[in-house]
Structure 1
């Protein structure tokens, strides 16, 4: 797979019904690729058949740290069957807001080890940040930095959730540039103006909010993100969100 890929995170359309209906709607919205959730990997043969039926690729999936630790061999088999090239662990497996640096170092070391094993099977592993990853710990350090430092030298990559970085009060572009050596993917979602879209958890369709996506897109792709994943945590109209977001991004996806 070469060049930039725009995928839809299927969490965004979970309210549309069973997976078959989610995939049909995603294809109908114009997407050619999806990012899967761990729950979608339970029946790989059926999953591959549905993806093929709707002419969709699944270059990536989100899986938990416990699933990787306890079922790595099975996950490798699923990835091979469904042509999944990249797995991402969304967030750390502990209360990040109360953790010491020790927990972050442990998680970085664990993910580094798992990344090595997956790399030997031709599959990439990356970490997907959350908001709390960039909030200062009691000693002032940043958990994300500790985790990545502990994994240094391993094949572990990074999927940047840029909107969560923004909500943490940092400048996402600065961090994308700082960690360009491990960046392979970015989640693309948009913050609604303060006090609006409260029934959608404060998110909007991409291009309809306050984030400067033309410049953020440029920075992310120049820093190594080839997989751009469109997402909304709680869309009022999932299908319309998907269509409008893709239409907006296609304006500057060159």
Structure 2
């Protein structure tokens, strides 16, 4: 009887190990980081305390540059102290068009050993973006993206949803125009799942439609009942804990892992960010657990 129990136990352990190994690549590929704007209130009070808190939460990757009021070298030393890495830095649309300012962006990214340079906005008519404005964005991004690639960096555009207006009699959206006319060698995309849901899109479906274009995700959920719009605007207080909104975080994460995205940044713009970020991390950890169970 004891031998039978031993054999069953060994077999069970063997199967469990196989299941864990099968689930490991998809689960371990996820690195959940933080868009540093989410920690803005604590950063105003104490930069080092903020970084210590992020380490406590198990965060390793950051999106964002040097905080105001602190020396770059001093900040970099604090990042090293707490095992944090800046993966992505932001850039300004106008700066991308000026050689000196673009070089400064490159120098800043390299200072932090960042991989990505992001742009969050294309200047446009507030009510409705025009095709000419999008063409300008495509032109600027293709040129800047080429220079960034030549310097070992990857450019990514962070869309906000105003790109989903129709153009030329409803033959397509400006988002589709952007995807069709930016050079994939020079321009990638950071998907903010909140801003894809806000104009009524399905983030998971978009990820699968353009599986080679996305290099990172902003993870942010939207309060159920929030009204869709094409202006790229929403009340920050509609940001809720991941998994409690209408964005479809679980589905988006599944699609993102399917296409091989490695970098994920929680962004919370609400006044409750300091309380909600740990809860959002717990939710994402639960998804990892469910993913592992599913593979068993």
Please report the TM-score for the alignment, with normalisation by the length of structure 1: 0.87
The yes-or-no answer on 1:212 pairing with 2:248 is yes
The aligned residue for residue 7 of structure 1 is 33
The yes-or-no answer on 1:146 pairing with 2:177 is yes
The aligned residue for residue 174 of structure 1 is 205
Considering only CA atoms, is the larger Rg found in Structure 1 or Structure 2? 2
Q: Is this contact kept in 2: 1:192–1:210, CA < 8 A? A: yes
Partners of 1:132 and 1:22 lie apart in 2 by 33
Q: 1:250 aligns with which of 285, 288, 296?
A: 285
Deviation at 1:249, TM superposition (A): 0.5
Partners of 2:169 and 2:129 lie apart in 1 by 11
Q: 1:106 aligns with which of 123, 136, 149?
A: 136
Q: Is this contact kept in 2: 1:45–1:81, CA < 8 A? A: no
Choose 69-78 or 30-39, whichever is displaced more: 30-39
Partners of 1:49 and 1:139 lie apart in 2 by 54
Q: Any idea what SS the aligned residue of 1:250 has?
A: helix
The yes-or-no answer on 1:51 pairing with 2:59 is no
RMSD over aligned Cα atoms: 2.6
Distance 1:42 1:160, change over 3 A: farther
Distance 1:43 1:145, change over 3 A: farther
Question: 4+ residue stretches of structure 1 with deviation over 4 A?
Answer: 37-43
The yes-or-no answer on 1:80 pairing with 2:115 is no
Partners of 1:40 and 1:59 lie apart in 2 by 19
The aligned residue for residue 260 of structure 2 is 224
Figure out how many residues of one structure are paired with residues of the other and give that number. Answer: 250
Please report the TM-score for the alignment, with normalisation by the length of structure 2: 0.76
Q: Structure 1 stretches of 5 or more lacking a match?
A: none
The aligned residue for residue 215 of structure 2 is 184
